[in-house]
Homo-oligomer: A and B are copies of this chain.
Amino acid sequence: MATNARGLQAVRAPELCELGAVDAACGIRDGLFSSEQLVQSCLDQIKAVDDKIQAWAFLDPEHALKQAREADAHRREGKALGSLHGVPVGIKDIIDTDDMPTEDGTVLHAGRAPVANATVVSRLREAGAVIMGKTVTTELATYAPGKTRNPRHPEHTPGGSSSGSAAAVAAGMVPLAVGTQTNGSVIRPAAYCGVYGYKPTFGLISRHGVLTQSPPLDQVGVMARCVEDLALIAEALIGYDENDTATRPVPRPRLLEIALQEPPLRPWLAFVKTPMWEQAEAQTQEAFAELAEAIGGQVEEFTLPVHFKDAWEWHRAIMEADLARNFDQEYDKGRDKLSASLRGQIERGCKVSAVEYNRALGKIPALNRALDELFDNRYDAILTPATTGVAPRGLDSTGSPVFCTFWTLCGMPAVTLPLMQGGNGLPLGVQLVGRRGDDARLLRTARWLVGHVQQVLAETAGQ
């Protein structure tokens, strides 16, 4: 069997869909397999399992294979290859694609066919990725669930709003997917489905061509099956875009290179329970106590200032006021086709005053300054639950985002790592949150933590 630089052996086609993105890109580059073989393997997996999971809002196997064949032809011609050359990616169905519908999880947008790609889709294409299809979102990326089920247990929610993206990655249908988070919509479904999720610092990835829910809160994120894959795709997506005024002309972080490094010093983690701790299930509280113990001397509990608890209300005011403004057409023309929960949010949002809204926005820089101290003084990252517990049973809700709200408001980078599980075997996500703008360090710390926990578990098992 052929072996490439990463020590990968040519694998049989049916197993390709299990590969991570870094390995897949490497295998294609080195000629161990073709993009077409990889995409076919993913399509086979979709065919085998998606009837039960329902991760896709739009999927045209022929169109995906056509892109894969073009990627293969490109390579055969000896042209330069992008970092994601030939690797399939699932795209949340609120992100515009010029060759597939984008229906935003609502019948009100059925048949919507954008004429242009979102900036993130253009960037993926520039990196050589195959746009596999559109993954299921909740209604307008808010709370009312789509059709997707949790691959770990079909009677449980996959979480939302990036439900299909998380489920598709978890079920081996694609190695990578793109989602968005305005409250907890990347971290929560990734945690519930047992995959790795990453929401970069606010403003690193352009939202141009993505459904607008709340401009100060909307953030693009990614899902994968390991930390280095998160770094690989995020690095392709990050960049200044004159069409999104939240993006800034700053140097693009070398996420993958840094994520792969060993930390120069053993990282210190601040275990932050947040004012929402009481909402965490008993098994979550216990699991985090055990995790902190397993990590050992590298973690210390850190209590946020008491007044930070108001931040959840500031987030609500901003988000609901923005839902009311951005979904006014949907409400005016089709409110009977909106969920009761979204109607309620919109109606509350109409009552938020401009003063309240702008005052809430004005808190964000102050919160970040206060948190800077935490990072300055000692800690590499904040350790905190990703969710209140494992994916709740039932498909009529997508679970609670309260353990994501604060970090989303602050625009801080966050990852969830599927390092633990609940009593019923469902995954329980470990969230690490970094300093705003310090994404590479966060990913390096995350990769260290994964290795450290695995080592501790191995030692425990060996005793």
A sample of 29 inter-chain contacts (CB < 8 A) reads A240-B249, A242-B248, A245-B248, A321-B353, A321-B354, A321-B355, A321-B358, A322-B358, A324-B354, A324-B355, A325-B354, A325-B355, A325-B359, A325-B362, A328-B355, A328-B359, A349-B354, A349-B355, A350-B353, A351-B353, A352-B353, A352-B354, A352-B355, A353-B353, A354-B354, A354-B356, A354-B357, A357-B357, A357-B358
Interface residues of A in 217-248 (CB under 8 A from B): 240, 242, 245, 248
Inside 8 A of A357's CB, which chain B residues have their CB? 354, 357-358
Inside 8 A of A325's CB, which chain B residues have their CB? 354-355, 358-359, 362
Interface residues of A in 357-408 (CB under 8 A from B): 357-359, 362
- Complex alpha-carbon distance, A240 and B250, angstroms: 12
Nearest chain B residue, comparing its CB with the CB of A324: B355
Nearest chain B residue, comparing its CB with the CB of A214: B358
Could you give, for residues 326-363 of chain A, a 1 whenever the CB lies within 8 Å of some chain B CB and a 0 otherwise? 00100000000000000000000111111111110010
Nearest chain B residue, comparing its CB with the CB of A212: B362
Inside 8 A of A328's CB, which chain B residues have their CB? 355, 359
Inside 8 A of A248's CB, which chain B residues have their CB? 242, 245
Give the oligomeric copy count: 2
The smallest beta-carbon distance between A60 and chain B, in angstroms, is 34
Inside 8 A of A358's CB, which chain B residues have their CB? 321-322, 325, 354, 357
Inside 8 A of A249's CB, which chain B residues have their CB? 240, 249
The smallest beta-carbon distance between A319 and chain B, in angstroms, is 11
- Complex alpha-carbon distance, A358 and B352, angstroms: 12
- Known A249-B249, A324-B354; further 20 A-B contacts with Cβ < 8 A: A240-B249, A245-B245, A245-B248, A321-B353, A321-B355, A322-B354, A325-B354, A325-B355, A325-B362, A328-B355, A328-B359, A349-B355, A350-B355, A351-B353, A352-B353, A354-B354, A354-B356, A354-B358, A357-B357, A357-B358
- Complex alpha-carbon distance, A380 and B247, angstroms: 32
Nearest chain B residue, comparing its CB with the CB of A322: B358
- Complex alpha-carbon distance, A305 and B72, angstroms: 53
- Complex alpha-carbon distance, A368 and B227, angstroms: 44
Nearest chain B residue, comparing its CB with the CB of A321: B354
The smallest beta-carbon distance between A57 and chain B, in angstroms, is 28
Inside 8 A of A245's CB, which chain B residues have their CB? 245, 248
- Complex alpha-carbon distance, A354 and B317, angstroms: 9
Inside 8 A of A350's CB, which chain B residues have their CB? 353, 355
5 interchain residue pairs of minimum CB distance:
A321-B354, A354-B357, A249-B249, A352-B354, A325-B358
The smallest beta-carbon distance between A316 and chain B, in angstroms, is 12
- Complex alpha-carbon distance, A53 and B354, angstroms: 39
- Complex alpha-carbon distance, A207 and B359, angstroms: 19
Could you give, for residues 308-323 of chain A, a 1 whenever the CB lies within 8 Å of some chain B CB and a 0 otherwise? 0000000001000110
Inside 8 A of A349's CB, which chain B residues have their CB? 354-355
- Complex alpha-carbon distance, A349 and B359, angstroms: 13
- Complex alpha-carbon distance, A242 and B249, angstroms: 9
Inside 8 A of A321's CB, which chain B residues have their CB? 353-355, 358
Inside 8 A of A359's CB, which chain B residues have their CB? 325, 328
Interface residues of A in 413-435 (CB under 8 A from B): none
- Complex alpha-carbon distance, A135 and B248, angstroms: 34
- Complex alpha-carbon distance, A357 and B322, angstroms: 10
- Complex alpha-carbon distance, A358 and B353, angstroms: 11
